Amino acid sequence: MNVNKILLAAGLSTLSLNTLAAAFQLSEHSASGLGRAFAGDAAIAENASVVARNPALMSQFSESQLSVVGTYIVPDVSLTGESAPAYSNAAALNDDSIAPEAFVPATYYVMPLDDKFALGFGLFSNFGLATDFAEDYAAGQLAGKTEIITVNFNTSVSYKINEQLTVAGGLNVVYADATITRHLGDLSNALATQGLAIPSSTTGLDLEGDDYGFGYNLGVAYDFDENSRFGFHYRSKVDITFDGTYSNELPLIPGVFDNGQSGAVQPGTVDLELPAIAEFSASHQLGDKWGVHYSVLWTNWSSFERLEAYVPSQDEPVFEKEENFSNSFRYAIGADYQLNAKVKLRAGIAYDETPTDSQLLSISIPDTNRLWISAGANYLLDDSSSIDLGVSIIRGQDRTFTEEDDAGGEWEFNSEGHAFIVSAQYNYAF
């Protein structure tokens, strides 16, 4: 059995894990949007966070505005072992917290240039994940530490064609950083029967890399009348090649550890495509108090068919794994209520589809359809500043699946994925 290749394959497949949105996509761009479950975000011009969801809305601002956002994510993702290979046991697979808590910041600035043009800048993230298993986790070859961080530096310009129609375009510079670590796990028990005494915490894979990628975004906003607006936003795919290092602590043993590095470090690369995103939204004001909003967001996950990893010492990929993702949709509807001159209340609900192939599930991708239930509020501090608060409860579906490693071992898991999100935002106009 080529254990080294098993570890590499399992490690790279976790680039597809995210416990909060489809695959490893992030929606947490603003506290104002979170309060409505992001319903209507491509059609509502409340603050400078429009840079992330539809920069065509920048034409609605008569003065410059700054928005600073902080979002805290508390995942509740657990695994229960249903069965395990003979060299392990199902109870050892149980883990009640595989995703650490995370803080996601964002900053936006919108500056009207004249009555036609506006300029906007954004610093935010559209994709990211983090999972962390103990070094001695029984299925360590399938799960360890996985982290991917992306930061989008977005500059956009809007042009107001007439009183109803505005268009916009922007450039995205995306920085991505990834770390993947895997350990031998209970495969050490199977190797012990062959006279190989190797600790279960032995690092079987350590892959680190980063890269910059480039993309563009386009936006349209159309005011149907003074109470109704429609918006559309498209964000292009971004190709990332993680250039970094690859190593492991495994000894070189032909037929067992064909790629054992014994701690030696060599270059490694992984190609990853961050998919294109498109969103259609509408916002309708129903009198002085009520507003109703809805959105449909599409993500082009079908372009994510497989993952491959290369090291310079081999012409063929050291890992190739089929993913076969499908395009996914996110549906959201929300409302707000102007309680008084200073306070606006928000609420929303969303349904988020998973893009994963039900035949290719793994411990690295316990992805599932999700239901978002959100609430929030805006408080006007003075004529120039306000704060937004938002909270969401995310409920995922339970899934049971079996994963077989290249050594012939079968692992069966039940996964549960839920989360709680809270966000705060400060807006200042000047």
**What pLDDT score does 123 carry?**
95
In sequence order, the β-bridge partners of residue 25 are 127
Tens-place pLDDT, residues 312-321: 877 777 666 6
Please name the residues in contact with 396: beta carbons below 8 A apart, sequence gap of 6 or more: 19, 368, 369, 370, 416, 417, 418
Tens-place pLDDT, residues 104-148: 999 999 999 999 999 999 999 988 777 788 888 888 888 788 888
Residue 376 has pLDDT above 70, yes or no: yes
Q: Which of 273, 411, 412 is nearest to 355 (CA)?
A: 273
**What pLDDT score does 319 carry?**
66
Residue 16 has pLDDT above 70, yes or no: no
Domain span holding position 253: 3-429
Tens-place pLDDT, residues 153-170: 999 999 999 999 999 999
Reading the block at residue 380, the tokens are 């006007």
Tens-place pLDDT, residues 18-37: 444 555 677 889 999 999 99
Q: What is the 3-state secondary structure (H, E, C) of 358-421?
A: CCCCCCCCCCCCEEEEEEEEEEECCCCEEEEEEEEEEEECCEEEEEECCCCCEEEEEEEEEEEE
pTM as predicted: 0.89
Q: What percent of the chain has pLDDT over 70?
A: 91
Q: Domain holding 16: CATH number?
A: 2.40.160.60
13: three-class secondary structure by DSSP: helix
- Least confident interval from 88-92, 332-336, 425-429: 88-92
**What pLDDT score does 197 carry?**
87
Q: What is the DSSP letter of 63?
A: S
When divided into structural domains, the chain yields a total of 1
Q: What percent of the chain has pLDDT over 90?
A: 48
Please name the residues in contact with 59: beta carbons below 8 A apart, sequence gap of 6 or more: 118, 158, 159, 160, 166, 221
316: three-class secondary structure by DSSP: coil
